[in-house]
Structure 1
Amino acid sequence: MIYLDHCATTPMSSEAIDAYRKAALSYYGNEQSLHDMGEEANQLLRHCKREIANLIHADPKGIYFTSGGSDSNISTLLSLAYGNQKRGRHIITSPFEHPSVYQAMNKLRQEGFIIEEVRALPNGQVDLTSLQQLLRKDTILVSICHASSETGVIQPLDEIGHLLGAEVVFHSDMVQTFAKLHIDIKQLHVDAASFSSHKVYGPKNTGACYISPKVTWRGIYEGVTHQEGFRPGTVDVPGITAFATAAATLYEELPSLSETWRRMQQWLLDILEPLGFHLFGDRDTRLPHHLALRASGYEGQWMMLEANRNGIAFSSGSACKTSHSAPPKSLLAMGHSPDEAHGLFRISFGTGTTWEEIEETAHVLQKIVHS
């Protein structure tokens, strides 16, 4: 099977597996325990915080660990909203977000917060003029992803952060970009961000978020002492160690990987577009390992199933969709028809993707639409 669904999940790297094994064997103490075994685990945890913070040029004091990207989004957004609600209850997001962001927003809406969505441009970026028009004196929080899992289009976070200034807390879901793009939190003017381990060759059920120490937040769990009250439960030190190791390893390989991925991306487009395949979103301002495509006259799910029958695994959109029947709202917001949006299928490369696999994929896709 040729695996081209790395935006859904990735296999654990050998470095991550080795790090997990060593940590599980030697650092199994509870990091909150006061004895030496607990202190050793705590020191390893602090090291992992520094590793992850260094990858985004952030303060390690702002790193908190979660069970994954969805948990990071929900816990962070609720904590930020509750911590700043005395200043206002107006929140802005976009039509490009992961379902977990909308789950948090729906809960906040039920609790009396006002949630609005910025308009989208046809190329898959947010409309900055629309964002500026939505901003109010009581706006406390804006959440816009760094790149959509469906379209792969990268958002202009630096311009957004510049527009918001210091008064509005700026959160970004960076699950699809962490360790796959160069990220400088301070240059982007981002106050909070979410990450996931299994998107970067680490273990599942592990993630992290960053909340600037300068930002006010309030934990969503009463009486919790773990991680300064952010999240309950004994921290999984081996899992976090594997996560930090996987992310650091991927980031080191990024310059050569990005170049290879870009060439694969362009080659596939050059082959497929003359055959009636269409790219969703901006051609250049997108993740180097991501292609959001449709084939004229075919549903994305049918394309995915036919490809699977021919030994190729890719997806028909986000792996966390809330409804398999509804077309992606991101594509509708960009101006595509429901039929066009239903055509979405997503190809995403990984560290082990070869040119032979890309050539075979092109051959299979050509065979599917001409059979």
Structure 2
Amino acid sequence: MIYLDYAATTPMSEKAINVYSQVATEYYGNSSSLHDMGLAAQTILEESRKTIAGFFNGEAKGVYFTSGGSESNYFAIHSLLKGNNKKGKHIISTKLEHSSIANTLEDLQKDGYEITFVPVNTEGRVELEALSEAIRPDTVLASIHHGNSEIGTIQDLVAIGEILKKHDIIFHSDCVQTFGKIEIDVKKANLDSISVSSHKIYGPKGVGACYINPSRTWQPVIPGTTHENSFRPGTVNVPGIAAFITAAEEVLPIMDVEQERFQGLRRKLVDGIQGDAWKISEVGPSSKRLEHIIGLSIAGIEGQYIMLECNRYGVAISTGSACAVGMQKPSKTLLAIGKSKEEAKQFIRLSLGKLTTDAEIEETIDIFQRFLKKYFNDL
């Protein structure tokens, strides 16, 4: 099968698998244990903490390893709110956030928090003027993602961070889709908290990290928690973390080159699947985007049908975020950028990765041409 769903998850790299196996075999001690086996695991854990902090210009003591991006988002938001509960109960976000944040915010409303969703333009970018106008004296936190998982829009975190810093508002960003793809600098963007995930960059599933600026106050979500400096409960997955760091060390040095390669593959794909009988439109920005995420809309045909046809022909694509599968709802991203429900249902997402080749793109073009000609000829 031709795999074009890398934004959903990625295969583990061979090197990451080998490191996982080695650490799990030789350094299986609990990193909280005081004997030599535990101390050996603890050494790996702390070195991993330093390494990942350097990837986004953070400080090692602000890194907390988790089970993934969703948990990082949940714990970051709740921990920071608990530590700053006297500042207010107003939160700023967008309608484009990952479900782990959207669901967390919905739950927080039951606890008396008020959420303001700032509008985005037709390319999915936050309206900075609207962001400034949304700030209130009781605004405590803003959660705005870095890269959109459906159309690839990159938010200007530096500009957003400047606005929030002036009002001393805690700034959290879901960076799961951008980590290992483009630069993240928590200090340059005045970010107080970010979430990243292993399985998006060829590391193991079930591993991620949350970064919280050490100068920010936070409180444990679960009282009495001892692991990860009281940030979360549960024995730390040292083999998975070591494999995560290994995967990151492989992709970060080549991320600029890869984005350039993806740009070429993207252009070839979009141009190649155009036809006389159908109209294919790219959805999202033409620049400042994640080149490996390709949002498309084919007029007159639902995205779910295209996904199923692609699967039948041996191509794996999606109709949007994998975390929203099964809900049978139009893409919330497309609705937020002004598309109708009908247009939102026509959306498909193809996403490229390090194993994607020119030959795969050419075969995908041929497959699209074949089933689209049949579909529109049968109308």
Structure 2-normalised TM-score?
A: 0.95
Corresponding residue number in structure 2 for 1:329: 332
Matching residue of 2:365: 362
Given the alignment of the two structures, is residue 302 of structure 1 paired with residue 305 of structure 2, yes or no?
yes
User: How far apart are residue 173 of structure 1 and its match?
Assistant: 0.3
**1:233 corresponds to:** 234
Give the count of matched residue pairs: 371
- Secondary structure of 1:293's counterpart equals strand
The answer on 1:280 being equivalent to 2:283 is: yes
Alignment of 1:140-219 (within 5 A): 140-165=140-165, 167-219=168-220
Asked if the contact 2:182–2:256 (Cα under 8 Å) also holds between the matched residues in 1, the reply is: no
Hey, what does 1:314 align to over in structure 2?
A: 317
Question: 1-side partners of 2:209 and 2:192: how far apart?
Answer: 14
State the Cα deviation string for residues 101-157 of structure 1 (Å, max 9, x = none): 011101211111111100010111111111111101111100010011112111111
Partner of 2:38: 38
Task: Tell me, in whole angstroms, the C-alpha distance in 2 between the residues paired with 1:299 and 1:80.
Answer: 41
1:246 aligned residue: 247
The percent of aligned pairs where both chains have the same amino acid is 45
* Structure 2 equivalent of residue 50 of structure 1: 50
1:323, CA displacement in angstroms?
A: 5.7
* 3-state SS, counterpart of residue 149 of structure 2: coil
In the alignment, the residues of structure 2 paired with residue 140 and residue 316 of structure 1 have an alpha-carbon distance, to the nearest angstrom, of 34
Q: State the Cα distance separating 1:271 from its structure 2 match.
A: 2.7
Instruction: Identify the range of structure 1 (106-115 vs 270-279) with the bigger mean alpha-carbon deviation.
Output: 270-279
Q: Verify the 8 A CA contact 2:181 2:256 in the aligned structure 1.
A: no
Q: Is the 8 A contact 1:74 1:103 kept in 2?
A: no
Q: Which residue of 2 aligns with 1:67?
A: 67
List per-residue Cα deviations over 1:305-361 (Å, max 9, x = no partner): 000111100111000017622212221111101011111111111111000001111
AA matched with 2:358? W
| Deviation for aligned residue 1:273 | 4.8
Query: What is the CA distance between 1:256 and its match in structure 2?
Result: 2.4
| Cα distance in 2 between the residues matched to 1:123 and 1:234 | 42
After TM superposition, give the deviation of residue 289 of structure 1 in Å: 0.8
Gaps of 5+ in 2: 375-379
Counterpart of 2:377? none
| More off after superposition, 168-177 vs 47-56 | 47-56
Between the aligned partners of 2:30 and 2:327, the Cα distance in structure 1 is: 41
CA distance in 2 between counterparts of 1:26 and 1:245 reads 17
The corresponding residue for 1:267 is 268
Q: CA RMSD in A?
A: 1.2
Bigger mean CA deviation after superposition, 266-275 or 97-106? 266-275
Please state if 1:15 is matched with 2:15.
yes
* AA aligned opposite 2:192: D
Match of 1:92 in 2: 92
**Alpha-carbon distance in structure 2 between the residues aligned to 1:344 and 1:75:** 32
Q: Distance in 2 between matches of 1:106 and 1:78?
A: 13
Equivalent in the alignment of 1:351: 354
